[in-house]
Structure 1
Amino acid sequence: MNTAEEWARHWQYPGLPGLDLLRARYVSHAFARHSHEGFVFGAVRGGIEDVVMPGETIRARPGTVVMINPEVPHAAHAGVPEGWSYATLYPSARLVAEIAAETTTLRGTAGFAETIVEDPETSLLIQEVHRAAEQGNALAADSLFRIAVARLLRRHGQSLPTRAPVSAGARTAAAAKAVLQERLAEPPSLEELARDLGTSPFALLRAFKGVYGLPPHTWLTGERVRRARLLLEAGTAPAQAAVTVGFTDQPHLNRHFTRIVGVTPGAYRKERLRAAHLRERVPGAYGEERARTYKNAEAGPP
């Protein structure tokens, strides 16, 4: 994305496996309701971002950090006419769990009860992770990333509650999800799906949204985008990816992909292929110091 007012870069740095990075400025762009398999840590640099969470809308300003647990539905849009600029980290759940196990006493699944906190120091660290990665400094980028996540976990983390026993509604929702995953390109109607699962359409809607936070059709769009991302990362052309996952055509994919990921499928594919090329061309070279000294990285864990 690159217009007069808006720009974005969604990419992977070979020196930080298990992590996606997004740095952007948005004005009119809005993120549709969606969720991520991993965590979201966002630091606004300018303007205000309104993040729509279940039951509330939070206003993210400079000096705050937005923390969203895996699979929690959310949307976002500008909170002021001039929009917002920010740096966001998308680490996998596995990577955050490893850092939690090494640096905290949290038991079970580590996560966050709060969605937004005032934490200017960690907000700056998140931005510094991006700067180090963009300069090709793997040692600093990895150090700063781990320090930032450890600091968030130690200051704001908690053990997430264990899941309640699976109810009949939850089993129905899980069964519906499995059918939709299998029939991604040609999904059944709500009535057909409910009939096959031995329930009613409205009961299925309630059960599915209760478990996954989204109605089946919205969840399906997000799942199609996730599958399209995997295809694009493997080098598949956007037009082919669109048809494979069930979108009508490439413009249909473009619209939904951009509203969830923040960049177009073409830009996403270009960055992924570039990262793959760098990994092949310079294996093992990302541990070199090639940028300025980072004071925070040398300070060690919080």
Structure 2
Amino acid sequence: MNGEVADYRRHPTEPGVDLLSARFVTHRYARHAHATYTIGLIESGVEEFDHAGSLLRAAQGQVALLNPEVVHTGQAGVPEGWRYRVIYPAVDVVRDVAAGLGAPAGTPFFPCTVVDDPAAARLLRTVHASAARGDALASSSALLTALGAIVGRHAARPYGHAPDQAASRSVRAARDLLHARLADPPSLEELASAVGTGTFALLRAFRAAYGLPPHAYLTNLRVQRAREMLDSGLRPAEVAARAGFTDQAHLNRHFKRIVGVPPGAYLLGRV
């Protein structure tokens, strides 16, 4: 046994926020992106991750601040692995906090991915502790206090543009086609033909725009859709078919590589 454990659950008072507490040693996150922000406190060990083309390391006591839709990985940076607590706030939650602080309209952006901020570390621990106790007032207050402090100290101007706006028309069309044909995707050749470009040109342009090649983007999208279906009450076996996975084992494997826990454990934290 390597002592790995992970608990993934919804925040008790804010439906737009998820919480993860985990210790990983051998687990490796696949390249993926979240629709939410990722704000994680390293409690012990070191997490190493590829992030927007750079290899970063977050050590004990440091806080990682990942913006939405930025492709990254995650793995142990030392033999003993790492233990961390994470909050995943939806974009509109962080945007509302920023507006309450008087920030200009738009989506807040964290320019520094790994920061040393002991006060933020304490606040993140409080978010998890209050959520575990189930006190609605305390957990709401702790969450907003933590987000307000982190946004106020570390967020910069809003995004200048979303990744989709930077993509060419053909790449956006390819992305839309993948969204439309989640369970029955075209081949790369069919995708390129449908948007009027060559396969190699599309492969390069798609990765430059979205951080992942089309097949990996599709897997990430399927896992995101699977989460939405699980949240709506569907069971994993049904979700696997609807999201385009071969079977439930296929769903389980990719879900854990991206979310950190398998679908069954994910569901336990939604009740």
> TM range, normalised to the smaller chain?
over 0.9
Counterpart code for 1:236:
L
1:147 aligned to 2:149?
no
Per mean C-alpha deviation after superposition, the further-off stretch among 65-74 and 155-164 is 155-164
Aligned counterpart for 2:261 among listed residues 260, 263, 268: 263
Q: Distance in 1 between matches of 2:14 and 2:207?
A: 34
Partner in structure 2 of residue 214 of structure 1: 212
2:13 maps to which residue? Answer: 15
1:1-302 paired onto structure 2 within 5 Å: 5-163=3-161, 170-272=168-270, 274=271
User: Structure 1-normalised TM-score?
Assistant: 0.85
Q: Offset of 1:137 from its aligned partner?
A: 1.7
Partner of 1:256, secondary structure, is helix
Aligned residues: 270
Q: Distance in 1 between matches of 2:103 and 2:37?
A: 19
Q: Conserved in 2, the CA contact under 8 Å of 1:172 and 1:207?
A: no
* TM-score, normalised by the number of residues in structure 2: 0.95
Match of 1:193, SS state, is: helix
CA distance in 2 between counterparts of 1:253 and 1:129 reads 30
1:166 CA drift (Å): 5.1
> AA paired with 2:231?
E
Measured against aligned partners, the alpha-carbon deviations of 1:134-167 in whole angstroms (never above 9, x if no partner) come to 0112222222221211112221111134229957
Q: Counterpart of 1:283? A: none
Q: Which secondary structure state, in structure 2, belongs to the residue aligned with residue 111 of structure 1?
A: coil
Q: Which amino acid aligns with 2:198?
A: S
- Post-superposition CA distance 1:82-103 (Å, at most 9, x none): 1111100000000000000111
Give the Cα–Cα distance (whole angstroms) in 2 for the partners of residues 34 and 71 of structure 1. 8
Q: Which amino acid is the alignment partner of residue 70 of structure 2?
A: V
Per the TM alignment, residue 248 of structure 1 is displaced from its structure 2 partner at its CA by 0.8
Deviation of 1:172 after TM superposition, in Å, equals 1.2
Q: Is the 8 A contact 2:40 2:64 kept in 1?
A: yes
My pick for the range that moved more, 174-183 or 107-116, is: 107-116
Gaps of 5+ in 1: 275-302
Distance 1:166 1:244, change over 3 A: closer
| Counterparts of 2:165 and 2:237, CA distance in 1 | 40
Residues 1:107 and 1:232: Cα distance change in structure 2 (over 3 Å): closer
Partners of 2:229 and 2:239 within 8 A in 1: yes
Counterpart Cα distance in 2 of 1:95 and 1:13: 12
Q: Take 1:252 and 1:156, find their aligned partners in 2: how far apart are those partners?
A: 38
| Aligned residues of 2:241 and 2:247 also touching (Cα < 8 A) | yes
The 1-side partners of 2:85 and 2:8 are apart by: 10
CA contact (8 A) 2:12 2:131 kept: no
Q: Is the 8 A contact 1:51 1:75 kept in 2?
A: yes
What is the CA–CA distance in structure 2 between the aligned matches of 1:170 and 1:63, rounded to whole Å? Answer: 41
| Structure 2: stretches of 5+ with no match in the other structure | none
One-letter identity of the residue aligned with 2:213: P
